[in-house]
Amino acid sequence: MSRGKPVVVRLVLDVLKPNTLPVEMLAENLLQATGVERIQIDILERDIATETTRITLEGMNLDREEIKKLLEESSCSLRSVDGITVEKTGSRGAWGQ
């Protein structure tokens, strides 16, 4: 039995964004990243100039470097990766095969 290649299917990011950037625009920007199919953005804290957000991205084979680049292009700062889900390719529905 061959093992599949590990791929990132979910990322949870702690991101600082300017409060002038609407979350809808940030979500649209991040949807351009390879593999991203779904995004959830939660605003955790606000101050005068920035908002602390938790961004959850889901999809198949998420490209972390591309996502980081898109965040930087949106004037956002990636503070940490707070969660990650990785699967082996071909592992969905593999039981019993």
Query: Residue ranges per domain, the chain?
Result: 9-86
Domain 9-86 fold is Alpha-Beta Plaits (3.30.70)
pTM, entire model: 0.87
Tell me the C-alpha distance between 4 and 96, whole Å.
Answer: 16
Tell me the C-alpha distance between 41 and 56, whole Å.
Answer: 6
The string of pLDDT tens digits covering residues 5-30 is 899 999 999 999 999 999 999 999 99
Q: Which of 32, 86, 84, 27 is nearest to 53 (CA)?
A: 27
**pLDDT band at 4; cut points 50, 70, 90:** confident
Q: Which of 61, 7, 68 is nearest to 37 (CA)?
A: 61
User: What rounded mean pLDDT belongs to the chain?
Assistant: 91
The string of pLDDT tens digits covering residues 48-92 is 999 999 999 999 999 999 999 999 999 999 999 999 999 998 655
